[in-house]
Amino acid sequence: MSSPEVRLSAPTLKVLKLFIEAPRTRRSGAEISRLAGIGSGTLYPLLARLEGAGWLRSAWETVDPREAGRPRRRLYAITALGQTKTQDAFTDLQLVMGVPVWSS
Amino acid sequence: MELVKLFWASLVVCVGFAVTIFLGLVNDEVSAWLPVLARRIIQRAAAKLKEREDVDRYLEEWLAHLQECPGRLGQLFHALGVWQGAARMSKARHPQTLRIDVKRMLVATSIILAATIMELFSIKYDGVPWPILILYAVQIAGALVAIICAAKMLMKGRKYIEL
């Protein structure tokens, strides 16, 4: 299956960096927005693109909205494909920039 | 004189008091309405996604995010951001295409061709600068090419051109 092209813009790289730093952590949109400093208007189309390309997957958190008294969060996690693609992208960037992206 | 000064001072105090009360009421009203407005904006934004599955999913997801936004203005900014994002997502999922009806194009081009030919016959050739005649020729040739293309498309069963 061929995945659609993902445009590696600065916000996309910020989001991918968050996930690649903690590949097992599942994060909600609000958390990603806060940590990456990206507004909702940019974040959700970006997450939808990454999910559509198979780089991220998402699932509802396992809480009962009635008991919790709030809507369920959608939690995103990076896939194996996403990890490989992100590492490739960051390696390419390191080659271009000459500095490790992780350290920035 | 003292009485006039006293009157004006009292008036200023009264107006200041009234303005403070009014601004307090406005503040209360705006504070109460902002979360409602933010929710409404998110509902409308989710509705832009068209597909039922997407609408339900993103509505719940964005409302959950709304609950985590600090402050009422933060909630409003999140809602407006989501509105903008939903428009982009909808555009990406349902790209708008320009659809041209080939039959209509054929009719319109034929009318243009007929009008151009009639105009060409109605003008006097004598004295008309040759660049003008070349322009007419180009217009007629263009219309003919468009008519031939449209006719070929119709013969192949293609009724629309999508751009």
> pLDDT digit string (tens) for B26-66?
888 877 888 899 999 999 999 988 788 889 999 999 999 99
pLDDT (tens digit per residue) in B87-140: 989 888 777 677 788 999 999 999 999 998 888 887 766 677 788 888 888 999
Q: Name the residue facing B85 among A45, A70, A74 (closest C-beta).
A: A45
Q: How high is the ipTM of this complex?
A: 0.85
**B93, B121, B152 - which closes a domain:** B93
Q: Are residues B110 and B65 located together in one domain of the fold?
A: no
Q: Name the residue facing B84 among A33, A41, A73 (closest C-beta).
A: A41
Residue of B nearest to A42 (CA): B85
What pLDDT does residue A101 have? 53
**Domains in chain B, number:** 2
Q: Are residues B22 and B85 located together in one domain of the fold?
A: yes
Q: Are residues B29 and B10 located together in one domain of the fold?
A: yes
Question: Under DSSP, is residue A99 helix (H, G, I), strand (E, B) or coil?
Answer: coil
**B93, B112, B139 - which closes a domain:** B93
Q: Are residues B48 and B106 located together in one domain of the fold?
A: no
For residue B65, the enclosing domain spans 2-93
Q: What is the pLDDT along chain A (104 residues), one digit of tens a residue?
A: 445 678 888 999 999 999 999 999 999 999 999 999 999 999 999 999 999 999 999 999 998 888 888 999 999 999 999 999 999 888 888 776 665 555 55
Q: Are residues B82 and B113 located together in one domain of the fold?
A: no
Q: What is the DSSP letter of A62?
A: S
Q: Name the residue facing B64 among A44, A45, A72 (closest C-beta).
A: A72
Q: Are residues B106 and B129 located together in one domain of the fold?
A: yes
Interface probe with B: pick from A5, A40, A76, most Cβ of B within 10 Å: A40
Q: Are residues B116 and B148 located together in one domain of the fold?
A: yes
**B61, B93, B125 - which closes a domain:** B93
Q: Are residues B72 and B152 located together in one domain of the fold?
A: no
pTM: 0.66
Q: Are residues B81 and B118 located together in one domain of the fold?
A: no
Interface probe with A: pick from B43, B48, B54, B65, most Cβ of A within 10 Å: B65
- Chain A residues with CB under 8 Å of B81 CB are 39-43
